């Protein structure tokens, strides 16, 4: 029986490349010359640490991060910007977490969307992926289309089509 997996992951090397491109661009920008700017990627915890002199400059760094990441192929919804920047002395700091892997509640949303679509497929949650199996490849392609149009707010990848 044909099957495929639905995952939500970010390649750490692609993310590292995007962060390095952001560093180079921010260092070369005229409005950041001579200012304190730190952009660090914690590869183990998938966290990006941002530091600058004002909240406005932090927002500019975030805008550049989103645009450069999208050019590298990373979905903008992969980043969690919910934590507000906070002042620490004269410096503002912000922590941006990167979503990697489907959480249990997100996987349940995906399975519910698939079940509500009425297609003759089975969806099973396996750790941080959702495995979808069906009798026809056309049904699996309909599931992919339903997930893309479902507006789940998750960066989903469709892998291991067999």
Q: Which domain holds residue 106?
A: 3-8+101-159
Single out the residue in 98, 113, 140 at which a domain terminates.
98
- Residue spans of beta strands (DSSP E) within 8-82: 38-42, 47-52, 79-80
Write the DSSP assignment of 126-156 as a string of letters: ETTEEEEEES-HHHHHHHHHHHHHT--SS--
**Do residue 91 and residue 41 come from a single domain?**
yes
20 DSSP β-pair partners = none
The arithmetic mean of pLDDT across residues 149-155, rounded, is 85
**Do residue 37 and residue 50 come from a single domain?**
yes
pLDDT of residue 162: 85
**Do residue 23 and residue 73 come from a single domain?**
yes
**Do residue 60 and residue 23 come from a single domain?**
yes
Reported as a pLDDT band with limits 50, 70 and 90, residue 21 is: very high
Residue 127 above 90 pLDDT?
Answer: no
**Do residue 94 and residue 134 come from a single domain?**
no
Number of domains in the chain: 2
The arithmetic mean of pLDDT across residues 21-34, rounded, is 91
**Do residue 49 and residue 75 come from a single domain?**
yes
Structure confidence by residue, pLDDT tens digits, 63-120: 999 999 999 999 998 999 888 888 888 899 999 999 888 889 999 999 999 999 888 9
pTM: predicted TM-score of the whole model, two decimal places: 0.83
């Amino acid at each position: 029986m044909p099957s495929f997996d639905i995952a939500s992951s970010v390649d750490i090397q692609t993310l590292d490349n995007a962060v390095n491109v952001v560093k180079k661009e921010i260092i070369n920008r005229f409005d950041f010359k001579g200012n304190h700017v730190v952009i660090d990627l914690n590869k183990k915890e998938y966290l990006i640490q941002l530091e600058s002199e004002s909240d406005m400059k932090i927002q500019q760094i975030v805008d550049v991060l989103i645009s450069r990441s999208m050019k590298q192929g990373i979905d903008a919804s992969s980043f969690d910007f919910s934590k507000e920047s906070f002042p620490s002395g004269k410096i503002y700091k912000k922590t941006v977490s990167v979503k990697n892997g489907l959480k249990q509640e997100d996987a349940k949303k995906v399975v519910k969307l698939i079940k509500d679509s009425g297609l003759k497929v089975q969806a099973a949650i396996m750790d941080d992926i959702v495995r979808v199996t069906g009798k026809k490849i056309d049904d699996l392609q309909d599931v992919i289309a339903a997930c893309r149009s479902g507006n789940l707010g998750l960066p989903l990848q469709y892998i291991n089509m067999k």
